[in-house]
Structure 1
């Protein structure tokens, strides 16, 4: 969903590459050889831990 803003459009970056899309998450998961869900969980844990 432009995962950053929650608009409900998973692959629309709204013309701004700084917005995180489902494809960005998939690419990050593939790079780490993990599932997209695990990548999302790791991102959330990192943000919570940094807060």
Structure 2
């Protein structure tokens, strides 16, 4: 039983880590898209 508990918490922390990586990746992608959009805007607006 103790071993199962340990395994479960390991899996949960792995899932949290993956979720964190995904959200960071998404945030970076959105930021990158925003910068690209601003560059395009600067090119076309000025």
Q: Could you say which structure has the larger radius of gyration? A: 2
TM over 0.5: no
Superposition TM-score tier, normalisation by shorter sequence: 0.3 to 0.5
Identify, as 1 or 2, the structure richer in helix: 2
TM-score of the superposition, structure 2-length normalised? 0.37
